[in-house]
Structure formats: structure tokens, C-alpha cells
Structure 1
Amino acid sequence: MKKILILQPDLDQSVSIAKYIKKHSDRYYVVGGYEEGVPIPGRFSYFDEMIVVPSDSDLIPENYDLIIPTGAKSTFQEITQKGTINIGNIKYDKANLIVFDKVKTLEIVREIGIPIPDMYSDLDEVLEYPVFYKQDFERGGGARGILKDKSELRGVFNEKGQIYQEYINSPSTYGVAFLAHEGHMITSFIQKELLSYPRAGGSGVVLTIFDDPGLIEYTKRIIQRLNLSGWGLVEFKYCPKRDDYVFMEVNAKFWASIELAFMNNSVFLKELFDIDYTEPKTSNIIFMNRLVEYGILEYIQTCVEYKDFYKLNSLKSVTELTLGCLRGVRRNIMGDLD
């Protein structure tokens, strides 16, 4: 039996990976590795064991057959230390770190003729509001949002670690999930986020599967130009003004809504963990644990609006409902924690 360690096991993508491994294979002993200072829950699903990973530990490879970083923080740390990460047939290469630099990635994508949002380096350049802002370098979490007018922008402009760009005024975000090797796409899956949390840009809450050859073509060109090897999610917004998709960013890590890909494309688990499985495909899902962070009223309204969607991670008690609402308040203050 192979022993694997999943870092940042509290993240949704970590739980989904552990869930599908345990659901479809008996060949893995799955350990979750929490950072020091992060409390380990008294109960947990899909993991055989939870441990604390000391900050000064090198995580000697002999202890585990696989060490799997899931969030941006653990992925950056692991790849910086090791240079490559091999999971099954897929090699995650240190060259992928270029996409953690959001500004440099946008410039490269623009060079290959794919639309990107207008970028602002000076207040006087901004002629149209609102303006979108986010981290200039992926650190995991961090503030992002919308500035509605010049007075709001003036208060934060040139704040260290932020970039400011054109707000693409369309309701949905399109994510192209991929596995790649040396600039060539191995497999892909497109998700359409009908609702995200935070609303200005975060993890998908209400999602559906989507198909568009143009998005696949754009993603192939980006993967080739950046010479990506590994896994990730390329995000786009549709821009009515341009009548085209606009590239937003590449998240070169396991993404929060990976379970929708697992539900509809078995190649991901086959390439990563040599797991063959067949299960009914699910086209539309709601992540209930994320939806609750909008508060009780929107929770109820969204459940009614999308009553036929498959509900994932349903809340089982009033306590879970209350904690979810409080988590939403915290995320509004501190930024997206995924």
C-alpha cells in the first residue's frame, strides 16, 4: 500500500483528492499534513490519519511514496525546495513558477495575441470604472475586489503587492483545467462558474460543465508558450465589448473545484494516481459549504434557483450553518483563504 501525504488538507481540493482516491482505490494510505499552529479537527473524512508538519521539517521522501501540495502556498514551497514534483505520470516543473508572477504572465499572454484586461500603472490612466485589483504575486489567499470610483482607487493605488486592471463586466468565469507535459496539453476540462465566493473573484460556488473550442485553443497556446508541465486551471472572462474571451490568470496548483473535473473526466485520476473508475457524470453542482458564506438569505435563494443542481458538501447541522456564515464574514475581512 502506498502512503501519501496531502499538504493543506483543510482545502476543498485536498478533500476531493482524498475522497476520490479512497472511493476508487484500496492501494493508498492517505495522510493529511497540517501546518504548525493550525488546529487538527477532531473528526475528518477520507483521510486515514492527520499529522502536524513541522515548519523546519524536510519531509524526508522515504517516509511517503507521494507528497502532494494542493494550495498555492504548499505548491510554491515544495517546488522551490525540490525543483520538480512527480505524481504518477505527471511531472510538475519548477518552470511553472513563472505563473505565480501575475503581471509577467499577463504580459507573455498578450504577446501571443490573446486578449488580457487593460492594466493600470497610473491613476490618470483609468478612464472607466469599476477597477479590479488583486495580488501581483500568488501567495495563496489575499485581497481582491472591485473599486467603484476614483475616490476608492486613490485610497489604495500603488499599495505594495497589488495590480489594478480593467473590470470585465460579465457574470461568469470560465476555468480550463489541464494536465500538461513540456508545453503540451494531455487532457482538459472546462467549468463555468455561475457564482463564485468572493463574488469579485474566488472559488466557484455554483458551477456547470462547458464546452468551447476557442477556450481550449487559447489554453493550449498559453501552455505551449509558458512550457508548462503539471496541472492547473486557466481562467477567462467573456468580454461583451471585445466579443471574445479575456485571459485572467493561470493557477498552477490543484484548484478548489477539482471535484467537478473528477466527476466528468477520469483521465485526471488515471494519469495522477493510476486509478480507473466509472461513475455517472454530473453536469451541474453547488458547493454548499461555500454558498453558506454568503449568509442565510442568499443560501436559501440560490438553493431555490438551482434546485436541480447536485449539492456537494451539504451542511448537516445548524452549527455547521452558523460556522459557515462566520467563515464568510472572516473571508470578507481577510480575503479569499483558498
Structure 2
Amino acid sequence: MNDRSPPPQPEVASAATYAPQPLQTAPHHASATLAAPVTHYENFPVASLLCPPHLRQPIAAIYGFARTADDIADEGDALAAARLADLAAYHADLMAVAQGQPPSPRWASVFLPLQAVLRSHQLPVPLLADLLSAFAQDVEKTRDAEGYADRAELLDYCRRSANPVGRLLLHLYGVTDAQALQESDAICTALQLINFWQDLSVDIPRGRHYLPRADCAVHGACQAELLALRSTPENVRLISDCARWARASMQIGAPLVHRLPGRAGWELRLVVQGGLRILDKVDALKGGSLHTRPRLHAWDWCVMLGRALVM
């Protein structure tokens, strides 16, 4: 496999540097700006009852934007060229609504709610664009059967695929200090890594490889054995080490739960504990996540709640 440096990314703008233009079209019916409810399975709550009520719609709009883009990149059986073309069109709609223009009809149900949030909360658009860059990279790497050389390369992907979500939420909460941003990045990176190690049995058959080649070499993991989803001693050590990496990142970011106000901090406690609970299950499988996808069940939420209360 050939190494490829990630494309250069735009500088992240602050709220002060982004000023959406007024809409230049007739206003839409109010219901058109309401984001769809969150129905996709997640390891953590999204816009739940713990979320401050006035932020549920903005968070749902951001989630809907990211979830739809991820589905364009990942779901169905479209060819890579079609996925990349759709992501480019999706990006064009993002740029249009950011400038106060109407979106295309295709994704109006996503972009009209997002446009309302861009206008009301001055979201940093480059963070949203970073997500699309990461999704396009996923498509390209899958097309080229290319994985990640080392942890640094994978962390750069996480910087664009996961960290923007946390920064957007902090923007909504009005939390902007450097320590909070760093802790948010650590949590979001951990969540992305946890998702990788949870989804090995799904991603590898789809041609998506997130276990860094340098880590595979350290543990003597054989590529052929990984592709065959075999739980060899080497693969067990590899997955266990990667799980420890994700857990360490989550522990670095966990103090952020005490820095967010009110309900937001409590929801974040469950987000953190949801990720850690999945890691418990990955560890318990002892490499079995290569053929079994661990999921959260009702009793796990009881465990998570108990742990959240004592954080």
C-alpha cells in the first residue's frame, strides 16, 4: 500500500470571523428548518433530554449534516466516483447556505435546518467542511485499498472526522478556552478510535483498514490474518493495545465534564462512559471484535449512569 499525505486543510475560523449573509430567497415554512429526530444507533446520547432544550435543535441539525454525509460516503453500493461526486455536491450546498443562498432540493431537509443554525449561532463553517474532507478521504482510501501508516496519520484523520463535532458543540455552549478545546479533541478522538475497534468486523470486509501498519508490525500481526478476521494471539495483542490507546485519550479528555454547564456536562458524562463501556466489551472479547461487533444494551446504560454519577 502506498502512503499518502492528507490534503491541506483550511484554517479553522472563529465565530468572529464568520458572518453568514442574509437569505436572498423567500423564507421557507418554519417546519422546514426543524432538524429530523435522531434515530440512528449511537454509543452515546445525541440531543437527549439531558441536553439544554434550546440547543436540541441546533445539535440535531449538526448531527443530521454529519450523519447524512457519513451515509453518502459509507452506505449502499455506489461506486467511489459517485460517492465523491455526491460529497462534492454536498460541500457545494454547505458553501451555498453559508453564504445565505438556498440549498439544492436534494438535501434541503438537511441544509435548511443547518442554515438556520449557521445564522442564529454563527457556526464556524471550516469545521463542517473538515468533516466532509475526512469522509472523502475514507472513500479514496477504501477505493485504493489503502490504510494508515501510523498513529500520527490516523490522528490527523480524527482531527477532521471527529474533533470538529466537539468543537462545534463547545461553540454552542459558549465554551472557548484552550484547555476545554484540547479536552474535547481528546474525547472526540477517543470516540472515533473506539468506533474503529468496535467496527472491525464491519469495516474490514468493506475494505476499510484503520489499524495502523506500524502497530501491526510492532505486534507481529499478519495482514492476511486480519483480512480473514482471525483472532490470533498477535491480533489480540494489537487490538488490546489500540483499545488502551483509545482509553488513554478518553481519560485525558474526561475532566471536560466538570467544565460544561448544567445538563450539558451530565450528557457528556454519558458520552464518555458510553465510549468506555464499548472498550470494556472490546477488551472482554479478546480480539473477538474482528468477528463480533460489541453493542450497548439496556443494562449497559445502567452501568454507564452509575459510573457517570461518580465521575
TM range (shorter): 0.3 to 0.5
**Given the two structures, how large is their TM-score scaled by the length of structure 2?**
0.32
Return the structure number with greater helix share: 2
Return the structure number with greater strand share: 1
Relative contact order (C-alpha < 8 Å, sep 6+): which is higher?
Answer: 2
